[in-house]
Amino acid sequence: MGIISPKYWAKHSYNLALGSGNRTKNLILGSGMMTVSNVINIVTRFGLIALLTRMYTKDEFGLWISITSITSVMVNSDFGVASALRNKLVECRVKENGDDDAKRYFFSVIYFFLVFTLIISILLLSFRHYIPYDHLFKTNDLVLKTEGRNILIWVPILLLINIPFGIGPAMLFAYQEIKVATLLNIIIGVLGLLTIGIAAFLHQSITVTTILYFLVNLLCTLGGTFYFVYRRKWFDIYINLKSALPKVWELVTQGILFFIIQTSAAFLFNAPTLVSTSQIGLSAASELSLAQRLYLLVVSMYAGVHNPLWAGFADAINRYDWQWCKTTLLRVLYVTVPLFALATLVFTFLGNFFLTIIAGKGYVSSKWLFLVMGIWTLFYLLYGLFLTFLSATGKIKLTAFSSALSAFIIFPTASFFAHKYGNTGIICVSAIVFFLLTLAAYLQAFYLINRQKI
């Protein structure tokens, strides 16, 4: 069996096992709330960018982009355990007297990662003088190098602390509390924007501003975890490391493929910015990242679809409704391609106009960059679509391998082209990588559909 059991998800996730007549309806309703939340969050991020670009220098903003790209790779440091735990909690929830088991799994994970965070944080602080943080960004400004080093020392520790204390919000989906998860997501976005605004208004350094931003995020997720525990009245529990390890190990063995795919995908997504930062400079990286973020507003419309779509595919597979899988895949495909073709056309000719509104006149990119960025975004989304279907079948070993291999080769390949063609060359390489991943996932998905069995 793969990481996800189709029969399990079909029976328990998102109430989609109500018959094929309700499947599409529930898919639309389930994804609608999450899409609204994601759109609001993207808007707050644009506001955040507008503040940063106007209150800090171009190199300081480039440093911010570099740090957030690095930390985006680190957010999957739970080894896929959160994804496996969500499945386990739903499984326990539908069992008679399964609440105690769910409670033990939940607190075992928190206890283990508290110890893990403490050990890694001590190691990072102990060896901070030996870690070459300066090589992660290219700048001649010694003050900015010191700022970047300080950020890279403390922000990873905040993210490590966020692993155990951020488990609760992720588990809200296991109990179908989508409204709370949506509200929390909006609160995090709004408070993040307010934090940046206040820090910038008070003329705080980019180091203080960045650390405050991640600290507020940590406090919000901690509040979400407290709510999750309070909502279930999970107070009478005792867990020690000896009893926690077997449960955590069980989840790690289930979640390792999730971890590989999530980490590889995060690195592949942020690789263009990281390459631009290290090979060209912070200013170039900031321009590339802004062009990328223009497309994220459209991407947000799809981000909320994945979880309900995943459950819908699983339900259809369990009922041998392969025609629904094929029809849904093709419908989403037919909507995605024209929509992003239009978005690419608009941003190619009007991208600099939008950048001027968001970040000011100091940020201008070439039309070729916007064009290639649109193609890159399209393949990134299509890869996510077919990965969602493959995850529902449980057949993701090949995808995990191909994603990891792509993540391994993209940095040296993109770095080579960065010296010759700049940001456009970097995005071209990244677009080709996502095209190959999309093609492989497409062929595997329709191979399984045509066989009509897994």
Give the pLDDT confidence of 94-141 residue by residue, as tens digits.
666 778 888 888 988 888 888 888 998 898 888 877 777 666 666 666
Tokens representing residue 35 in the block:
């899409």
Rounded mean pLDDT of the chain?
A: 80
What is the DSSP annotation of 296-335?
HHHHHHHHTTHHHHHHHHHHHHHTT-HHHHHHHHHHHHHH
Q: Are 358 and 46 in contact (CB under 8 A)?
A: yes
What does the alpha-carbon distance between residue 142 and residue 148 come to, in Å, rounded to a whole number?
A: 10
Stretch 206-224: mean pLDDT, rounded?
90
The model's pTM: 0.67
Q: Does residue 141 or residue 294 have the better pLDDT?
A: 294
pLDDT confidence bin for 8, thresholds 50/70/90 = very low
Q: CB-based burial of residue 7 (10 Å sphere; 0-12 exposed, 13-18 middle, 19+ buried)? A: middle
Q: Are 313 and 392 in contact (CB under 8 A)?
A: yes
Determine what percent of the chain is predicted with pLDDT higher than 70: 83
Whether residue 366 is predicted with pLDDT greater than 60 in this model: the reply is yes
Find the length of the chain. Answer: 454
Give the pLDDT confidence of 391-407 residue by residue, as tens digits.
777 678 899 999 999 99
Q: What pLDDT, on a 0 to 100 scale, did the predictor assign at position 423?
A: 86
What does the alpha-carbon distance between residue 196 and residue 56 come to, in Å, rounded to a whole number?
A: 11
Tokens representing residue 49 in the block:
């960018």
Give the pLDDT confidence of 317-343 residue by residue, as tens digits.
766 788 888 998 998 889 889 988 898
Q: What pLDDT, on a 0 to 100 scale, did the predictor assign at position 74?
A: 64
Whether residue 302 is predicted with pLDDT greater than 50 in this model: the reply is yes
Whether residue 354 is predicted with pLDDT greater than 70 in this model: the reply is yes
What does the alpha-carbon distance between residue 110 and residue 126 come to, in Å, rounded to a whole number?
A: 24
Task: List own/partner pairs for 428-435 with CB under 8 A and 24 or more apart.
Answer: 428/372, 430/268, 430/271, 430/272, 430/376, 431/372, 431/375, 431/376, 431/379, 433/268, 433/406, 433/409, 434/268, 434/376, 434/379, 434/380, 434/383, 435/379
Highest-scoring range by mean pLDDT, 17-26, 317-326, 349-358, 419-428: 419-428
Radius of gyration of the chain measured on its C-alpha atoms: 22
